[in-house]
Amino acid sequence: MNANLAPGLYIVATPIGNLSDLSPHAADVLSKADMIAVEDSRVTAKLLAHIGVRKSMTPYHDHNADKVRPDLIARMAGEAVALVSDAGTPLISDPGFKLVRDARAAGRAVHTVAGPCAAIAALTLAGLPTDRFLFMGFLPAKAGARASALAEIAAVRATLVFYESGPRLHAALAAMAEGLGDREAAVSREISKKFEETVTGTLSELAARYADAPPKGEIVVVVGPPGEPEAASEADLDAALKGALERLSVSRAAAEVSKALGLPRRDVYERALQLK
């Protein structure tokens, strides 16, 4: 047991680009942990070398998590186990939530060492509304499943955040333009690295930009929320009411049309009486 760090699980956020983004708290935890569970030991070894630390590491990723997890939980009874991903905050589009869940179920202490997250960093770069957002991770690779996933969120009144790879970016942007409408968006890549870049425009403009030149690096796509629906015109209201009044009473017709067009029920009822 490490006398300087209490036993349990430590979820440690690591830099998404510039290694200097590692917080002093994270460096301290990594230096004192008894073991570090890593996505790729080669990537984490570079980070540890940056802070002058040599530490025992064990792979923990999608392919071995079920096998490795029980041993990690057992070790947490008397040791400090740190969990890191290759970059950013663990559990955000990375394995880890089952480890946290099982650690809590076993009575182990769980701590988080906050730090970089590509999704949040991209939001700060996009210049799009940040008061309400939905993180979607990676869209499905197959066109049909991707279209279905976009259809499910098309009406959500929030900024949308996606992770994507360079080779798939054009297809993803084109699918977003078709499934979400041609909204304002931003493509950020290599955040906090030497060649950091954020390009803004509509989804169709961005799809055209990357059609023949897939970008390199880690990519985040931020898509603005849908625009406000257009207010129904008087002609729209009258047409809807006339159709409803053929089937329903004035009161019920007004209620149906008010809900369908998003108009005040009292105003719709008064117009329904006039038409009746």
Same CATH topology for 8-116 and 119-223?
no
At the topology level of CATH, where does 8-116 sit? Cobalt-precorrin-4 Transmethylase; domain 1 (3.40.1010)
pLDDT tens for 85-98 read: 999 999 998 889 99
- No. of H helices and E strands in the chain? 11, 10
Which helix or strand (DSSP H or E) is residue 220 part of?
A: strand 219-223
Write the pLDDT tens digit of every residue in 144-170. Answer: 999 999 999 998 999 999 999 999 999
CATH H-level, domain 119-223: superfamily:
Tetrapyrrole methylase, C-terminal domain (3.30.950.10)
Q: What percentage of the chain has pLDDT greater than the value 70?
A: 97
Per-residue pLDDT at 2 exceeds 60: no
For residue 38, what are the CA distances in angstroms to 17, 58, 69, 72, 163?
17, 6, 12, 12, 21
Instruction: Please say whether the beta carbons of 172 and 146 come within 8 A.
Output: yes
Q: What are phi and psi of 200, to 5 degrees?
A: -115, 160
Answer yes or no: is pLDDT of 26 > 90. yes
C-alpha 47, offset from chain centre: 25
Nearest to residue 164, comparing CAs of 193, 196, 144, 186? 186
How far is it, in rounded angstroms, from Cα 112 to Cα 11? 5
For residue 126, give the 3-state DSSP assignment: helix
DSSP 223-256: EPPPPPPPPPPHHHHHHHHHHHHTTS-HHHHHHH
Q: b or e along 153-175 (b: 16 or more beta carbons within 10 Å of the residue's beta carbon)?
A: eeeeebbbbbbbeeebbbbbbbb
Alpha-helical regions (H) of 76-201: 97-105, 118-126, 143-153, 169-180
pTM for this entry: 0.79
Domain ranges in the chain are 8-116, 119-223, 234-275
* pLDDT tens, position by position, 191-221: 999 999 999 999 999 999 999 989 988 899 9
pLDDT in tens, 47-67: 999 999 999 999 999 899 999
Q: DSSP 3-state assignment of 65?
A: helix
